[in-house]
Amino acid sequence: MPPPPLLLLLAALVLAAARPGCEPAWDPAGGCPRLAAVDSATCVDLQLRTCSDAAYNQTAFPTLLEHRSREVVESSSEYVLLSVLHHLLEGQCNPDLRLLGCAVLAPRCQGGQVRRPCRHVCEGLREACQPAFDAIDMAWPYFLDCGRYFASQQEGCYDPLEKLRGGLDEEEALPSGHPATFIHFTHHSYAQMVRVLKRTAARCAHIAKTYSIGRSFDGRELLVLELSSRPGQHELMEPEVKLIGNIHGNEVAGREILIYLAQYLCSEYLLGNDRIQRLLNTTRIHLLPSMNPDGYEVAAAEGAGYNGWTSGRQNAQNLDLNRNFPDLTSEYYRTASARGARSDHIAIPQHYWWGKVAPETKAIMKWMRAVPFVLSASLHGGDLVVSYPFDFSKHPQEEKMFSPTPDEKAGPSAWTLVPLPPELQMFKLLARAYADVHPMMMDRSENRCGGNFLKRGSIINGADWYSFTGGMSDFNYLHSNCFEITVELGCVKFPPEEALYTLWQHNKEPLLNFVEMVHRGIKGVVMDKFGKPVKNARISVKGIRHDITTAPDGDYWRLLPPGSHIVIAQAPGYSKVIKKVTIPARMKRAGRVDFILQPLGTGPKNFLLGPRRNGPGGAGPHGEPEEPGQEPLGARRLPEASGSKPWWWSYFRSLGQHQPRWLLKY
């Protein structure tokens, strides 16, 4: 069989590129005229569908890959790859990668000159996206070779992703150091939101930082603003909180409130507000104003007030993100009656990865694995109430049934079998920390939506309200150390702009009060007799079938209501340590309780096995086997029998002899 033409072409390119300073594609005559050849380009309209959102609209032929016409480009394997890349990588790295490819496949032409994309942009993407290719066993496409087809800034390159960045760089260059922040109580488009968060991080550079936890299906960055005394790192025993808005794209109040909160915390810290300084000096707070930026766009297109109940609720794949998490609640109910059954660190079942998992959901799961969160709130709209787990009813046929977590059923005196007053149950305390200081939630005179929750103090167990599976809060509780509540901020999902200031006023104190709750209970470090931290040690509280595990530095946080508790620390290879602690009713800072574990006498045979987990293998609670970036692929894309092609090869079969063999690793 003759080698496919592409390989020949590739070989030609390699040869040509070996000549210094020579650009094969621009040099049909064989010399190296560089700019002369560039000048002679004829710009024509860019008419490739896959590249229609590029930052430019004129291209030239032949392209950098020697394609001589639009038709040739369209039938090339490189173009087919760009067209399906989004799907192959499940939304990861796109649209960036596609636009980068377009910059090579359909180079920018401007004023009779072909311009080349910037090498540093290519290199940045290569670093970020190589893992996505590795995960599907695909080689990095040869035409995204940063050294060959890209140019340096000295050579006058342009940024093909400029449009995605929304002109941020200019904003960032604005002078900072302005003490007062004028919060604009308006709706924020995606670009505006990103700008405000980045500007806030710049203004408060010593206590704030933005970072991305991944991308939405349509490629929007899921941007987080982090506030803490040392942004960018976990500090020993400093608890971490996350606040998430806009998981339902059409429920936008939470998104706006978190944007305002970011600015408020920054400027109050700078102004010397004692409470805010203390909070940020002792807590690491992560704000994700929009978990569903794609859905938001759909809702925003309809506009405030007009928006109905459902437009934009889902992500761009039409998935409801608050139904898309692994249903561990069923797993828990299935095993709850068994001896030693746990309600913590339950493994994600294999079959979950066979279904559709949104990139937004994956991003959150990955985030939860990377940061030892203690407390969380997810902000919704459409009603006025705070709900707490479980959201899924313990009786599948019962749509409304009180279904509490073990942290609710038990409490400070459970081990002495004295019934616990409801006001001392942890999730109720958390929900009340929000509702009790919210003027509307507490207002008895107002005729409001959610009025039916008034007599319960505007808090409710999720399943007692209405039952659903795959929610984020249940997942937080059953898979990680994090306790999450759900806040319904008001009846209107997409409030008019005039209502936003009042919404902020009503929710500012509840949010602060709630975040401060992360300092309830106990915290400390588990170490061995040499002072070496023990990670993944289990902290159990007698009477509560829900363990917390230590973070990599050996530190832990256990939210607990006031009262007396028996606390046990244990880890494989060590004997357990038991302590009795009493948390006074008015205590506002977590009491420090450290544990020093003694190794069990001899070798590994004497391991004290922790309670068994449901999942196979019983891996560490930070769940290596559940790594969403790997397991879905492992599960769905079974290893190929030797000699056969990877699953994605079917996309290219129709290309016949033009099949992109350069994507195959072996």
Ligand X SMILES: *[C@@H]1O[C@H](CO)[C@@H](O)[C@H](O)[C@H]1NC(C)=O
E strand residue ranges, 394-529: 459-461, 483-490, 522-528
Nearer to ligand X, 277 or 330 (CB): 277
Give the burial string for 38-50 (b: 16+ CB within 10 Å, else e): beebebeebebeb
User: What tokens appear for 492 in the block?
Assistant: 């209107």
Which H or E run contains 73?
helix 70-74
Hey, which residues does 574 pair with through a beta bridge?
Answer: 599
Least Å distance between CB 329 and ligand X? 40
Task: Report, in angstroms and rounded to the nearest whole number, the Rg of the chain calculated over CA atoms.
Answer: 28
Q: Which stretch binds Zn ion (CB under 5 A): 24-32, 61-69, 234-242, 377-385?
A: 377-385
27 to 61, 310, 503: CA distances (angstroms): 12, 55, 63
How many residues sit close enough to ligand X to count as binding (CB under 6 A)? 7
277 near ligand X, judged by CB under 6 A: yes
626 interface partner picked from ligand X, Zn ion, none, CB below 5 to 8 A per type: none
Which of the ranges 17-25, 272-280, 299-307, 347-355 carries the binding residues for ligand X, by CB under 6 A?
272-280
Please, which residue, 47 or 598, has the CB nearer to ligand X? 47
Nearer to ligand X, 44 or 370 (CB): 44
Q: Answer whether 399's CB lies under 8 Å from 472's CB.
A: no
- Which residue in the list 488, 516, 631, 640 is annotated as catalytic? 488
* Residue numbers 278-307 binding ligand X by CB under 6 A: 278, 281
The smaller minimum CB distance to ligand X, of residues 111 and 584, is found at 111
Containing 538, the helix (H) or strand (E) segment is strand 538-541
Residue 493 interacts with Zn ion (CB under 5 A): yes or no: no
User: Which of these ranges, 372-380, 410-418, 528-536, 608-616, lies near Zn ion under the rule CB under 5 A?
Assistant: 372-380
90 is catalytic: no
Q: Are 117 and 159 in contact (CB under 8 A)?
A: yes
> From residue 56, how far is each of 2, 52, 59, 114 by CA, in Å?
39, 9, 8, 12
Distance CA 96, CA 161 (A): 6
Cα(388)–Cα(482) distance, integer angstroms? 13
By the 10 Å C-beta count (0-12 exposed, 13-18 middle, 19+ buried), 71 is classed as exposed
Considering only residues 215 to 244 of the shown chain, the ones binding ligand X according to CB under 6 A are 229
Crossing angle (nearest 10°) for helices 253-271 and 500-516 = 70
356 binds, among Zn ion, ligand X, none (CB under 5 to 8 A by kind): none
Contacts of 265 (CB under 8 A, 6+ apart): 227, 276, 279, 280, 285
Cβ 45 to ligand X, closest distance in Å?
Answer: 6
The option from ligand X, Zn ion, none interacting with 278 (CB < 5 to 8 A, set by class) reads ligand X
Q: Which residues from 378-437 bind Zn ion, rule CB under 5 A?
A: 380
Q: Residue 649 gets which letter from DSSP?
A: G
Q: Which of residues 19-48 bind ligand X (CB under 6 A)?
A: 45
Nearer to Zn ion, 251 or 344 (CB): 251
**Interactions with Zn ion, residue window 241-260 (CB under 5 A):** 248, 251
**Distance separating alpha carbons of residues 80 and 99, to the nearest angstrom:** 14
Residues 6+ apart with CB under 8 A from 137: 637, 646, 665
Size of the site for Zn ion (CB under 5 A): 3
Q: Which is nearer to Zn ion, 387 or 659 (CB)?
A: 387
Among residues 22, 57, 579, 631, the one that binds ligand X under rule CB under 6 A = 57
Q: What type of residue sits at position 22?
A: C
Q: Any contact of residue 113 with ligand X (CB under 6 A)?
A: no
Q: Which is nearer to ligand X, 278 or 356 (CB)?
A: 278
Residue 380 binds: one of Zn ion, ligand X, none (C-beta under 5 to 8 A by kind): Zn ion
**Part of the chain binding ligand X (CB under 6 A), chosen from 70-78, 276-284, 293-301, 462-470:** 276-284
- Residues 289/259, Cβ–Cβ less than 8 Å: yes
Residue range at the interface with ligand X (CB under 6 A); choices 277-285, 310-318, 524-532, 605-613: 277-285
Integer Cα distance of 146 and 454 in angstroms: 61
Residue 638 CB, shortest distance to Zn ion, in Å, is 36
Binding site for Zn ion (CB under 5 A): 248, 251, 380
Residues annotated as catalytic are 488
Residues found near ligand X in the complex (CB under 6 A): 45, 57, 229, 274, 277-278, 281
